[in-house]
Structure 1
Amino acid sequence: MGPNGPIRRLDRFFQLLFSNIVVVALLLMVIVVLTLVIGRSAFGVAFFWGEELARYTMIFMAFIGGAVALRSDQHPRLTVFTSMLPTGVQVWLERFLAGCLAVTLAVLLWQGLDVALHDGRMKTPALRIPYFWIYLAVPLGAGAMLLMLLFKQFLPPAVSVDEQEDVKEVTE
């Protein structure tokens, strides 16, 4: 497996962990929204906590999903002009943009943690949980994206996302 075997295993672990978190969050969100729709239309019952839970689940899914998309190189981007550049310039530009992204994510991690720690004391209206847990999505997502950005610089992805097929695990 080579000298970076433990690093590869750690990278693979985090890719699968973040991917599974996104799947579970999406599944939970779908179940909650279906429960709300069926409850309202079939039984005339409105669950006061459902919309809030679906919203907060979507927030976590978006931030952790950003890490999954970053690692599998699935973030949308415009490549019309960069594809016309020479290969050396493209590589340099990609590294420069990765550095800019790392700085942005570090600031987001730091500021998100600050907001969660200092402004997260109030409780949500319906679920009555501290906003700290909701605000924590920002630093957790930024940290996950930073980690995936670091692994992306040195290793190929262990999980491949192909538009024509399902998500699949890459074998060596």
Structure 2
Amino acid sequence: MGFLRAIDKGVEKLAGWGLVVCVLTMLFLSTLVIVMRWFGVTFLWFDPFIRHVVFISTFLGGVIATGRGTHIGIDILGKYLESKNLEGAQAWIERLIAFVSAGTLVWLIQASWDFMLSELKYGKPTFFGIHSGYLTAIIPIGFALIAYRFFFLFVNSFSSKEEASNV
């Protein structure tokens, strides 16, 4: 369990630092694009690059939100069970949600992997000559990181409360 926890903490740190770098990059380049337009100067690769950084930021934000449990969710049943002091049932519902979410993400990883392979076959070079297929690798990698976080939440839910709180 310690190994999985170490991986989870590493993913959390990587996503946190990656998100900071992405947001700062977006802000800097977006501001630079505006200033450069005042002088009639433009670099064609700025806008597609910024769009891909936004895409990466979205997945990194999802990774962080999943690990912290702050992702969007409809928790009517969980709140009801909590109000009735049925913590055991609530824990099983949370396990089921984490398990089904991880399983759904495995399916999305496969679909996005197929999309990436198709893009590698039929896509074309974009900014800096980078093939669009390599840029679409953001999708399966992002889904894989989120799937791991859900997998860890599922496995960690079977630990004792003291172990689980060390996350």
What is the TM-score when the length of structure 2 is the normalising length?
0.80
Asked whether 1:17 is paired with 2:18, we answer no
Partner of 2:42: 46
Q: Mind listing any 5+ residue stretches in structure 2 that lack a counterpart?
A: 157-163
Task: Judge conservation of contact 2:78–2:90 (CA < 8 Å) in 1.
Answer: yes
- Aligned length in residues: 154
Task: Judge conservation of contact 1:67–1:144 (CA < 8 Å) in 2.
Answer: yes
The sequence identity of aligned pairs, in percent, is 25
SS of residue in 1 equivalent to 2:129: coil
What is the TM-score when the length of structure 1 is the normalising length?
0.78
Q: Mind listing any 5+ residue stretches in structure 1 that lack a counterpart?
A: 159-172
Supply the AA of the counterpart residue of 1:147. Answer: Y
Aligned CA distance change for structure 1 residues 145 and 123 (closer, same or farther; 3 Å): same
SS of residue in 2 equivalent to 1:120: helix
Offset, 1:119: 1.9
Q: 5 Å matches for 1:16-165?
A: 16-41=13-38, 43-85=39-81, 86-121=86-121, 122-153=123-154, 154=156, 155-156=164-165, 158=167
- Per-residue CA deviation, residues 26-48 of structure 1 (Å, 9 max, x unaligned), is 1211111111111113x222221
Aligned CA distance change for structure 1 residues 12 and 81 (closer, same or farther; 3 Å): closer
Superposed CA RMSD:
2.1
Task: Judge conservation of contact 1:109–1:142 (CA < 8 Å) in 2.
Answer: yes
Structure 2: distance between partners of 1:78 and 1:117: 34
Task: Judge conservation of contact 2:99–2:151 (CA < 8 Å) in 1.
Answer: no
Aligned CA distance change for structure 1 residues 92 and 6 (closer, same or farther; 3 Å): closer
Supply the AA of the counterpart residue of 1:72. Answer: R
Aligned CA distance change for structure 1 residues 126 and 6 (closer, same or farther; 3 Å): closer
Task: Judge conservation of contact 1:71–1:157 (CA < 8 Å) in 2.
Answer: no
